[in-house]
Amino acid sequence: MIVVRRKPIDEILKMVGRHTRVMLVGCNTCAAVSLAGGQKEVDTLIELLSLAASRKGFSVEFSDAILERQCEPEFIEKLDSQGYDAILSLGCGAGVATLAGDNDKPVYPALDTLFIGSAQGFASWQAECSACGSCVLGETCGICPTTRCAKGILNGPCGGVKDGTCELGDRPCAWVEIYDRLESLGRIDDFGKTMPAKDNSISARCCEWDMTKEGDDS
Amino acid sequence: MSNIPPHKASEADKDRVFAPCRARCPVHIDVPGYLSAVAEGRFTDALEIVMQRNPLPSVCGRVCLRPCEEGCRRCNLDEPVAIAALKRAAADHGAYPLPRPMGTRPERVAIIGSGPTGLTAAHDLAQLGMKVTLFEEKPKLGGMLRYGIPNYRLPDDALDRDIGHIVSLGVETITGVRVGRDLNLDELAQTFDAVLIAAGLQGSRSVPIDGAHLPQVMTALDFLERSASGEKLDLGERVVVVGGGNVAMDVARTAIRQHAQSVDVICLESRDEMPASEHEIEDATLEGANVHCSWGPHAVIGDENVCALDTVRCTSIFDSEKRFAPEFDESELRRFEADTIILAIGQSADVGDLGINLTHRGSPIVDPVTLRTSHEGIYAAGDVVTGPTRIIDAIAHGHRAAAAIFGALVDDWSLLRELDLENTVLGEIPPHMSEMLETRRRIQMETVPFYEAIKNWGEIEEGYTEYEAAREAQRCLGCTTGARLAQEKCASCLSCMRVCPHGAPGVHVGGYMYFDMEACHACGTCASACPGSAISIEGCSPDEMVLRVQRALASPTIDQTIAFVCGHTRNALETLDPNARIVTVSCLLRVDESTVLQAFRSGAGRVAFSECDTGTCRFPHALKLVAQRERSIVSALTQIGMGDSFRIVGPASDEEAPS
Ligand SMILES: Cc1cc2nc3c(=O)[nH]c(=O)nc-3n(C[C@H](O)[C@H](O)[C@H](O)COP(=O)(O)OP(=O)(O)OC[C@H]3O[C@@H](n4cnc5c(N)ncnc54)[C@H](O)[C@@H]3O)c2cc1C
Ligand code: SF4
Ligand code: SF4
Ligand code: SF4
């Protein structure tokens, strides 16, 4: 799932403060699941922005809408934004982009898109994937070095690891975790096999994926 | 296929799943609904909920025989919630609704008798806009509530509050008129579109024994009525009461207040078989009555004046088919000296003068569904039809009569149909949940000690204070009022599953959530965590919270503080700014960010969270989430320069919590 987080209010207000009627659009898929873009967060943000705007002397009117998934044109079609002069999206980057592409008015992001991650219990997520386009999780027992190693190195660990902790001090060393997991699966012999450099051009070049185009189906 | 999910009540079905307390109440009062209002100190809201089904809250809060409490799911845990006493608290501390009949209608209905049956029917029909006239033989309204139940259990002012509200709906009352004697039923039937006979049981059973005709042999109803009317009776020193039911206990205790020196209660039943409630027997004994079981009246001794009652041993009461057929051993005799004998051995219908068809017991013959007698437009309900019951049964019958009369006169049977809707009863607390729930004893109500109580007619039970009532109501598990899911809003995020302490939410294959009602105890944690606002908990929807804040803020001043106070700690209330407007909640988790922000928008200058004492916390699992909520509020307000406007108050001191 894509994990998102609300931007600071000031930053949001800078974008929408100059408009008079703004529609906040939530997304009931990943953004809701990461507790930042569902109905509740839309309602809260409206209250917060209204309060902030009135303190700054802006007169902005806010209203709400929820889409099942903002990244799908068919869901967006249902959105009636007539009479609004801006849209504030509580979706991930893909949602903002899709809304913006489908609209004649400015669309602003209320959230920052953080990563593709997994839930660690209530209101807590772990980054798991950076959408690099050339997955190595098979070699690393499901722990992504590109995502979870601070340096993203493919043949770790580096010399900065201390007692299993990354030299940044904020996370366990991904490579120590990979080592432990290989060992527990009886695959310790695979450790240290040099992985070839990833083809970074894949993610850079892969700006769309269209199975209907000839030559694109694999 | 093994992965077919078990059938769970759909959200629509859930409306007819009743908490056992509600299911057992003959009028199905929304018990958990009003208890949750009381738990939050919202007595007027609670009273309104009660009065949707029961127009006599002040009466029933005191003397209802409480079938609901026997079913309370807490029975298996510690003891039932004090449901009736909390109804009284709602009536004592809440404001009665303003009389607002639904328009006016042309139909005119006459009601004979102003006991609970007649009063309820009058209430319902007047509320529906009909013109109701109540005919009552006695000088005042209330039936057995006024002339039967003694004042020390139900004082007149408590009764008058309920009656006052009913009359204020526009009910015309004519007292001192006995229909059948002063007016005849046919005349009434011609003047009115419908007539309801709600005459109760005004006749008294007697025993065919020697001396029963003597002037010092009285009936319970006559004795209680004269006492209730303020008459000072000369009973002599020794009073013998015959009967083993609640009426006999009322008679005994009334005789003590009428200055009898000794009161002996004799009954056919053994102690275990006595029909009187255990606490009534205990109270009567405490006040000085001597209860003698398994004796049957044999002869009243005396020429002009009574001097004793001779009794014989009663060896059994029922035959093998459980029919009343007492057997006596006439060789075992016992004499009870007496100056007055009062018979409390049952009542009977006394409507022979009305000229309608009666059963062999003297009750009007009615259709069991519509309560119509053999005469067009004439109905009968309450004890006169059913024989002796309880107030709440009489109220239920009053509702039925009103619904049937409305149906017949307006040709709209929906109200009657609604009364017969089926309901299912929520099951017992699942074992995994009872293990997690703390036992908490019922809060004891202050009472006047018996040695003081017998000196006068004053009410013995003093009622709960507002604080005690809230605390007691917080023992309610909120059965059936918990999580309801609006499936279309759910994002299947599983947050509800992750935060619920009781494993009530679950997920089906396909990502569809469900909630197990039996496991849910309406804490609201899941609703507070749900990003889709897909979960609702009765009584604390966002709209209701906004309304409560606005009510609390009515005419705010600029630096007004709105304090959300967890109702579990009194200390907090005392440490707050004395001018703060208080909104009491069952758990601070029910106050979400939007509610706080809206409070500012509604004019509050500051908002405070007054936390509970962890020792009394009802939902300890919520503490961590409340702290998280507080951090999130502080962070949001700080971002817009209002960080100082939010305050967290601890339970015992008003130190500001570090943010
Ligand atoms: C002493 C006593 C104590 C009780 N205590 C309790 C208790 O604690 N809890 C509980 O739940 N139940 C109690 N009950 C039972 C309860 O009071 C009755 O079930 C209930 O009052 C029946 O209501 P009703 O309206 O059918 O009749 P009633 O209350 O008897 O009212 C009937 C009314 O009709 C009037 N009437 C009769 N005939 C005519 C006529 N021809 N014209 C005009 N008016 C007429 C009567 O004067 C009376 O006012 C008690 C009963 C008694 C006798
Ligand atoms: S706990 Fe409350 S809702 Fe549940 S049965 Fe008892 S009184 Fe009723
Ligand atoms: S918390 Fe709300 S949105 Fe998430 S699964 Fe539960 S009901 Fe659905
Ligand atoms: S979190 Fe509370 S309200 Fe929600 S399902 Fe669980 S017990 Fe019920």
pLDDT in tens, B35-53: 999 998 899 999 999 999 9
For residues B45 and A192, what is the distance between their CA atoms, to the nearest angstrom? 71
* B496 close to ligand 3 (CB < 6 Angstrom): yes
Amino acid at B130: M
For residues B211 and B544, what is the distance between their CA atoms, to the nearest angstrom? 67
pLDDT single digits (tens) B464-476? 999 899 989 999 9
**CATH T-level fold of A2-115:** Rossmann fold (3.40.50)
Q: Please state the rounded mean pLDDT for residues B544-551.
A: 88
* B483 close to ligand 4 (CB < 6 Angstrom): yes
Task: Decide if B504 contacts B527 (C-beta within 8 A).
Answer: no
What letter does residue B656 receive in the DSSP assignment? B
Q: Please state the rounded mean pLDDT for residues B58-80.
A: 96
pLDDT single digits (tens) B101-120? 998 999 999 999 999 999 99
Nearest to B56 by CA among B108, B122, B109, B102: B122
The predicted structure's pLDDT at residue B652? 54
pLDDT single digits (tens) A77-122? 989 999 999 999 999 999 999 999 988 899 999 999 999 999 999 9
Contact across the interface for A43 and B533, Cβ inside 8 Å:
yes
Point out the residues of chain A with pLDDT beneath 50.
217-218
Which H helix or E strand runs over B561? strand B561-566
Q: What are phi and psi of B145, to 5 degrees?
A: -65, -35
Q: Please state the rounded mean pLDDT for residues B153-170.
A: 98
Q: If you search the block for the tokens 């303190």, which residue do you land on?
A: A55
The contacts of residue A54 (CB under 8 Å, 6+ apart) are none
For residues A50 and A39, what is the distance between their CA atoms, to the nearest angstrom? 16
Q: Which ranges in B495-622 belong to alpha helices (H)?
A: 495-499, 525-529, 542-553, 570-575, 593-601
Rounded to the nearest angstrom, the distance between the alpha carbon of B120 and the centre of ligand 1 is 13
pTM of the model: 0.89
The pLDDT confidence band at residue B570, using thresholds 50, 70 and 90, is low
Strand runs labelled E in A46-180:
61-67, 86-90, 107-109, 111-119, 125-129
First to last CA, chain B: 53
Nearest to B118 by CA among B385, B361, B339: B385
Protein residue whose Cα sits closest to atom 4 of ligand 3: B493
Nearest to B460 by CA among B470, B451, B472, B471: B451
Burial of B47 by CB count in 10 Å (0-12 exposed, 13-18 middle, 19+ buried)? Answer: buried
Find the chain A residues whose C-beta atoms sit closer than 8 A to any C-beta of B. 8-10, 28-29, 32-33, 35-41, 43-44, 47-48, 50-52, 55, 66, 119, 121-123
The contacts of residue B113 (CB under 8 Å, 6+ apart) are B134, B135, B136, B137, B143, B197, B198, B199, B200, B382, B384
The pLDDT confidence band at residue B244, using thresholds 50, 70 and 90, is very high
Task: Give chain B's domains with CATH numbers.
Answer: 11-96+424-471 (1.10.1060), 108-200+380-419 (3.50.50.60), 204-347 (3.50.50.60), 483-537 (3.30.70.20), 542-649 (3.40.50)
Range in B175-189, B364-378, B554-568, B582-596 with the lowest mean pLDDT: B554-568
Q: What angle do CA B320, B325, B326 make, to 5 degrees?
A: 110
Contact across the interface for B593 and A29, Cβ inside 8 Å:
no
Pairing of strands A2-6, A21-27: unpaired
The predicted structure's pLDDT at residue B656? 41
Give the Å distances, CA to CA, from B298 to A35, B266, B268, B310, B331: 80, 12, 11, 5, 12
For residues B659 and B656, what is the distance between their CA atoms, to the nearest angstrom? 8
Percent of chain B residues topping a pLDDT of 90: 77
Burial of B260 by CB count in 10 Å (0-12 exposed, 13-18 middle, 19+ buried)? Answer: buried
The predicted structure's pLDDT at residue B453? 95
The predicted structure's pLDDT at residue B553? 84
Nearest to B379 by CA among B196, B121, B190: B196
Q: Which residues of A touch B597 (CB under 8 A)?
A: 44, 47-48, 50-51
- Which long-range contacts (C-beta less than 8 Å, at least 24 apart) are formed by B151-154? B151/B228, B151/B457, B151/B458, B151/B459, B152/B253, B152/B257, B152/B453, B152/B457, B152/B458, B152/B459, B152/B460, B153/B62, B153/B63, B153/B250, B153/B459, B153/B460, B154/B59, B154/B62, B154/B63, B154/B459
Q: Which ligand lies nearest the alpha carbon of A32?
A: 3
Highest mean pLDDT among A181-195, B54-68, B553-567: B54-68
Q: What angle do CA B15, B390, B27 make, to 5 degrees?
A: 15
Contact across the interface for A55 and B642, Cβ inside 8 Å:
yes
Q: Which of B626, B639, B644, B645 to mutate to test the interface with A (most CBs of A within 10 A)?
A: B639
Amino acid at A170: D
For residues B218 and B204, what is the distance between their CA atoms, to the nearest angstrom? 10
Average pLDDT in chain B: 92
Residue B112's region, left for phi above 0, alpha for psi from -120 to 50, else beta, is beta
Contact across the interface for A48 and B636, Cβ inside 8 Å:
yes
Protein residue whose Cα sits closest to atom 8 of ligand 2: B21
The pLDDT confidence band at residue B153, using thresholds 50, 70 and 90, is very high
pLDDT single digits (tens) B342-396? 999 999 999 999 999 999 999 999 999 999 999 999 999 999 999 999 999 999 9
Helix orientation angle between B43-51 and B31-39, rounded to the nearest 10 degrees: 170
For residues B479 and B472, what is the distance between their CA atoms, to the nearest angstrom? 15
Rounded to the nearest angstrom, the distance between the alpha carbon of B80 and the centre of ligand 2 is 8
**Nearest beta carbon to residue A38 from set B531, B598, B639:** B531
Q: Which ligand lies nearest the alpha carbon of B195?
A: 1
3-class DSSP string for B27-40 = CCCCHHHHHHHHHC
**Nearest beta carbon to residue B491 from set A29, A119, A122:** A29
Q: Per-residue b/e over A76-104, b at no fewer than 16 CB within 10 Å?
A: beebebeebebbbbbbbebbbbbbeeebe
Q: What are phi and psi of B248, to 5 degrees?
A: -60, -40
pLDDT single digits (tens) B386-426? 999 999 999 999 999 999 999 999 999 999 999 999 999 99
pLDDT at residue B1 above 80?
no
Q: Which of B530, B594, B631, B635 to mutate to test the interface with A (most CBs of A within 10 A)?
A: B594
Task: Decide if B506 contacts B519 (C-beta within 8 A).
Answer: no
For residues B320 and B283, what is the distance between their CA atoms, to the nearest angstrom? 33
Question: Residues with Cβ within 6 A of ligand 1?
Answer: B 63-65, 112-118, 135-138, 143-144, 148-149, 178-180, 198-202, 224, 246-247, 250, 382-384, 389-392, 394
For residues B205 and B184, what is the distance between their CA atoms, to the nearest angstrom? 26
Q: Which residues of B touch A36 (CB under 8 A)?
A: 531
What letter does residue B327 receive in the DSSP assignment? E
The pLDDT confidence band at residue B463, using thresholds 50, 70 and 90, is very high
The predicted structure's pLDDT at residue B96? 97
pLDDT at residue B648 above 50?
yes
**Nearest beta carbon to residue B531 from set A9, A40, A55:** A40
* B493 close to ligand 3 (CB < 6 Angstrom): yes
pLDDT at residue B5 above 50?
no
Task: Decide if B128 contacts B105 (C-beta within 8 A).
Answer: yes
Q: Which ligand lies nearest the alpha carbon of B501?
A: 4
Q: What are phi and psi of B575, to 5 degrees?
A: -90, -10
Rounded to the nearest angstrom, the distance between the alpha carbon of B494 and the centre of ligand 3 is 5
pLDDT at residue B655 above 50?
no
**Nearest beta carbon to residue A38 from set B532, B636, B642:** B532
Sheet-wide strand order for B194-197: B172-175, B131-136, B108-112, B194-197, B378-380
Domain range summary for chain A, segments of one domain joined by +: 2-115, 130-205
Contact across the interface for B597 and A32, Cβ inside 8 Å:
no
For residues B359 and B361, what is the distance between their CA atoms, to the nearest angstrom? 5
- Diameter of chain B measured on Cα atoms: 96
Give the Å distances, CA to CA, from A87 to A54, A61, A71: 19, 12, 15
Q: How many CB atoms lie within 10 A of CB B507?
A: 15
For residues B381 and B386, what is the distance between their CA atoms, to the nearest angstrom? 8
Mutate to test the pocket of ligand 1, among B25, B133, B144, B153 (most ligand atoms within 8 A of CB): B144
B542 vs A86 pLDDT, higher one: A86
pLDDT at residue B2 above 60?
no
- Omega before residue B388 within 30° of 0, cis: no
Contact across the interface for B531 and A35, Cβ inside 8 Å:
yes
* B657 close to ligand 3 (CB < 6 Angstrom): no
